[in-house]
């Protein structure tokens, strides 16, 4: 059941509705809190464990190569199953699947908290990823079907995008604090507790929604796209650790591409496709998701390489590094406070282009970092880049989902969230491999920074050209 907006000016118009953020009713605030809390929880899971990995490995007996699987075990299912669960939610009920995902995520977090050996811990992480693959697309489609297109949806997505960005940052800071004070298991216990809270509130606040018709599930499409995404994520994650020389990396890379090609063929012939090819041919969907892929993949990569730069080159403490990214998080919050007004004044498409170009420009400023100094420049540049990143997150989601009928919102938001998860997953492996071509860490950092800035600017210009034809 959609929540009515007191105003109805569409994004991009200038008037009272566009200039002032609309008010939310008490119930709408609670619904938004539940949906955003779930998204925040998943974002937290992406980073909260990172600083705890060395301690965790020592405690459970995980080797250095095994520690990579603490991340990969989550990334594989969380990125690979998004489209499938987004479509299942459209057919069989978004609320039902959302609650199921929360239960799986909570139980998996508890298993990871109580893990007694590497196998039980990695099983918990994989199940967390599976739960996240359910929560993210269903939560987004519940949000876009609950809040009607216009100022209310702009504001809801602005808040959601802010918390998504903030969750990743807070995870990096809180992970270190929790590990130092309560041990690594507390990071997983935090997620289990958050899942329980959301699961207790959600059934009372969320109403069921699904497509009016119930076409058959596109099984060939589901198998090929899920297998293709799983293969590609595995190949890129493994390549970041060992390079592209391994047979398993080459085989899964080729297999992933082949399965995705097969997916396109199956979708073109299916009566009820998992992803509507006409939807992919919409320029707003194609170029919006391209912008989303660029902003997520490049921002996660920059955060990763800056962590190495600050700690390994400048010898900044974990607390000092956390403070740098804490300021970055505050910049995201500040940007989120004004994002809906900016989108309302300039439109989602123009905001997306300007955000990508701004993010690229501020990342390019990091080329001024020195080998033995640069904390201030790093803090300012990454904070401003993060503010632009937040604008890109919100505007690409709006660009993709605007104008899409409610019965296809699960498909559209499935694409949005797949772009998000795949972007976070593949950026570090892709540019991480690039950095290994340099003889020093500093040289690798500079090369990654230059590549990320160039990719963002080029993507911004490409998105501008592509979306101009739809205006």
Which residues does 276 contact at the CB level (< 8 Å), separation at least 6? Answer: 267, 408, 411
Please give the pLDDT value at position 432. Answer: 63
pLDDT tens figures, 355-382: 999 999 999 999 998 888 888 999 999 9
Q: Which long-range contacts (CB under 8 A, 24 or more apart) does 214-219 make?
A: 214/91, 214/92, 215/91, 215/271, 215/272, 216/272, 217/87, 217/88, 217/91, 217/272, 217/274, 218/87, 218/266, 218/267, 218/270, 218/272, 218/273, 218/274
Per-residue pLDDT, averaged over 85-93, amounts to: 78
The CA radius of gyration of the chain, in Å to the nearest whole number, is 21
pLDDT digits (tens, 9 = 90+) for 120-152: 998 999 899 899 888 888 887 787 777 766 677
Task: Return the pLDDT at 12.
Answer: 37
The model's pLDDT over 28-63, given as tens digits with 9 standing for 90+, comes to 778 888 888 888 888 788 777 766 766 777 788 876
**In terms of DSSP H, where are the helices of 64-117?**
64-80, 82-92, 94-113
- Listed residue (66, 149, 155) closest to 336, CA to CA: 155
| Residue 4: predicted pLDDT | 44
- pTM here is 0.70
Q: Which residues contact 269 (CB under 8 A, 6 or more apart)?
A: none
When pLDDT is cut at 50, 70 and 90, the band that residue 384 belongs to is very high
Nearest to 355 by CA among 163, 137, 171, 165: 165
pLDDT by residue (tens digit) across 304-326? Answer: 788 778 877 888 776 677 778 77
How far is Cα 254 from Cα 162, in angstroms, rounded to an integer?
36
Instruction: Give phi and psi for 8, each to the nearest 5.
Output: -135, 20
Q: Which carries the bigger pLDDT value, residue 241 or residue 222?
A: 222
Which element (helix H / strand E) includes 276? none
Contact 402, 150 (CB under 8 A): no
Cα 413 from Cα 119, distance rounded (Å): 33
- pLDDT over threshold 90, residue 462: yes
């Amino acid at each position: 059941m959609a929540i009515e907006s007191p105003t109805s000016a569409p994004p991009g118009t200038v008037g009272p509705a566009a200039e002032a953020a609309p008010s939310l009713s008490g119930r709408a605030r609670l619904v938004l809190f539940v949906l955003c809390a779930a998204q925040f929880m998943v974002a937290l899971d992406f980073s909260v464990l990172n600083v705890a990995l060395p301690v965790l490995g020592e405690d459970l007996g995980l080797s250095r190569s095994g520690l990579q699987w603490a991340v990969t075990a989550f990334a594989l299912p969380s990125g690979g199953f998004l489209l499938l669960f987004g479509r299942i939610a459209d057919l069989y009920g978004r609320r039902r699947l959302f609650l199921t995902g929360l239960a799986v995520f909570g139980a998996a977090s508890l298993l990871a908290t109580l893990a007694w050996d590497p196998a039980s811990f990695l099983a918990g992480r994989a199940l967390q990823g599976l739960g996240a693959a359910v929560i993210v697309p269903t939560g987004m489609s519940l949000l876009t079907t609950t809040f009607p297109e216009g100022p209310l949806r702009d504001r809801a997505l602005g808040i959601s995008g802010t918390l998504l960005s903030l969750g990743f940052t807070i995870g990096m800071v809180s992970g270190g604090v929790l590990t130092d004070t309560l041990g690594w298991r507390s990071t997983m216990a935090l997620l289990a507790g958050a899942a329980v809270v959301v699961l207790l509130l959600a059934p009372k606040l969320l109403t069921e929604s699904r497509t009016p018709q119930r076409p058959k599930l596109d099984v060939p499409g589901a198998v090929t796209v899920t297998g293709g995404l799983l293969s590609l994520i595995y190949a890129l994650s493994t390549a970041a650790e060992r390079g592209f020389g391994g047979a398993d990396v080459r085989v899964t890379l080729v297999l992933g591409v082949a399965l995705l090609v097969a997916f396109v063929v199956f979708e073109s012939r299916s009566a009820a496709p998992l992803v509507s090819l006409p939807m992919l041919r919409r320029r707003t969907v194609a170029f919006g998701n391209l912008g989303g892929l660029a902003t997520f993949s490049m921002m996660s990569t920059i955060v990763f390489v800056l962590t190495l730069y600050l700690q390994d080159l400048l010898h900044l403490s974990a607390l000092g590094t956390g403070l740098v990214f804490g300021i970055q998080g505050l910049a995201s919050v500040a940007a989120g406070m004004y994002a809906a007004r900016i989108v309302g004044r300039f439109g989602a498409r123009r905001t997306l282009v300007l955000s990508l170009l701004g993010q690229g420009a501020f990342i390019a400023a990091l080329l001024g970092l020195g080998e033995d100094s640069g904390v201030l420049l790093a803090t300012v540049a990454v904070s401003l880049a993060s503010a632009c990143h937040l604008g890109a997150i919100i505007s690409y989601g709006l660009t993709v989902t605007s104008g899409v009928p409610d019965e296809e919102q699960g498909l559209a938001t499935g694409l949005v969230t797949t772009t998000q998860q795949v972007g976070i997953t593949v950026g570090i492996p892709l540019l991480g491999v690039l950095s290994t071509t340099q003889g020093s860490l500093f040289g690798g950092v500079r090369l990654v920074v230059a590549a990320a800035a160039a990719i963002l600017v080029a993507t911004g210009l490409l998105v501008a050209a592509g979306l101009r034809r739809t205006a």
